[in-house]
Copies of this chain bind each other. A is one copy, B any other.
Amino acid sequence: MISRAIGFEKGFELSEGNFFETFEIMLPKLMKYDVMVQNIAISINPVDTKLRQTGKGTKAPHILGFDSVGIVTQVGDQVPHLVAGDRVIFAGTTNRYGSYSEKQIVDSRIVAKLPENIPAEKAAALPLTFLTAYELLFEKMDLVSKENGNDATLLIINGAGGVGSIMIQLAKWAGLTVLATASRPETADWCEKLGADQILNHHKDLTKQVKKLGYDALPYIAVLHSSDHYYDEMADLLSPFGYLGSTVATAKDHNLAKLKAKSGSFVWEYMFAKTDYDYHIKSQGEALTLLTHLLSTEKIQSTLTETLDGLSPETFYHAHQIVEADKMIGKLVIRY
C-alpha cells in the first residue's frame, strides 16, 4: 500500500530552509496486532523538532508524527476490538512511519476508539501529552488514577506547554492541588483556565514563591522543562519520600545524594519506552480509552490552541517553526 507522506532525507535546521518533501512511501504488510489508519488530524510535539534537527526517527526518508485521529481502513488477524470504519486515536511509536502521512500502520494495542461527539482536531492534540502526563503521575509517581483519588500537592514546572496543559487537568481530576509555573500573562491565564490552583513564575525564585504559599516542601514535582536547570532547586524543595519527575533529557550529571537523607525518588517518564521495549504496550490503549471518557464527559478539555491545514511541506515547515519557538501555549494540530 502506497501512502503520500511528508518527510526529510537528512536532519536539518529550519534556518537552512525547508527540507521537508513529499514522498510516496510503501507501507508494509500488516502484522497480527496492526491496523491501517487514514489520518484526519495529527499534532506536532516538541520531540518532532528534535528528531528533525538530529535526523533520527525512522529510516530515511524520516516520516515523523506521533499523534493522530484517523479512520481504520484495514485490520490485522488479532484485532478483536476494532473494525474498518472505526474512528480512532493514538500516539504511535518512534520505530515506524508516523502520522505525517495520509495512511499509516499502528499496533492496535496502543489505539483507542474515539466517540463520535469528540471533534477529530480537538482529540488529535492530546494522545502523546496525555500518555506522558498519565504515566508520570500514575505509573512513575505513586498517585492514584481515579477521580478525587488523591490528596496532595503537585508542582508542575512549565504548566502551559503541551504536557503541562493536560497534566494540570488530569491532576485536578485526580484530586490534587496543583501549583503550575508560567512566566507570561497569557500562559498564566491559560494555566488558571485549565484549573491550576496557584500560578508561580519560573523566571523568579520558585522556592520563595512556594514557601510564601505556606509549603515547606512539596511531595510531587514534575519538571517539564530543562531538567538541568531545575534539578538542584527542586531536589532541595522535595518532601521526604517525595517524587521528582522529569520528561526532559539532562545533559549534565546530577547530585543524586541531595535526595538521600529524605528517601527521595527521581523518576523519568518517556512515553515511547513502552513501545521501544515492548513493555505493557496495551496499557497505552487503555489509558487512551480513559482519555476519550474524560473528553466525552468534559472532565478535561482539549489543549488545542492552533490549527493548520494540509499535508504539504509548507504546512509542516510552518508548524515546526511555531513549535520550535518554545513559546507555544497548548498544542498545534494539522488537518489533512
Contacts and interface: CB of A to CB of B under 8 A. Distances in A.
A254 B251 contact: no
Contact of A261 (B139, B227, B261, B270): B270
B273 A240 contact: yes
A129 B240 CA distance: 19
A19 to B, nearest CB: 26
Q: Which of A135, A142, A227, A279 has the most CB of B within 10 A?
A: A279
Contacts of A253: 252-256
A111 interface: no
Nearest to A268: B260
Interface in A221-257: 227, 231, 239-241, 249-257
Interface size class of A (residues with CB under 8 A): 35 or more
A314 interface: no
Nearest to A279: B240
A279 B265 CA distance: 15
A231 B255 CA distance: 12
B240 A261 contact: no
Interface in A194-237: 227, 231
Given A240-B273, A240-B274, A140 B263 contact: yes
Contact of A276 (B142, B240, B249, B257): B240
A127 to B, nearest CB: 17
Given A241-B139, A253-B255, A254-B254, A270 B279 contact: no
Nearest to A252: B253
Contacts of A263: 135, 140, 267-270, 273-274
A190 to B, nearest CB: 27
A259 interface: yes
Contacts of A276: 240, 261-262
Given A249-B260, A255-B253, A268 B270 contact: no
A187 to B, nearest CB: 26
A105 to B, nearest CB: 23
A266 interface: yes
In the complex, the 10 A-B pairs of residues with the closest C-beta atoms, listed nearest first: A253-B253, A240-B277, A263-B273, A240-B279, A265-B267, A260-B268, A250-B257, A266-B266, A263-B270, A240-B273
Interface of A: 135, 139-140, 142, 227, 231, 239-241, 249-257, 259-270, 273-274, 276-277, 279-280
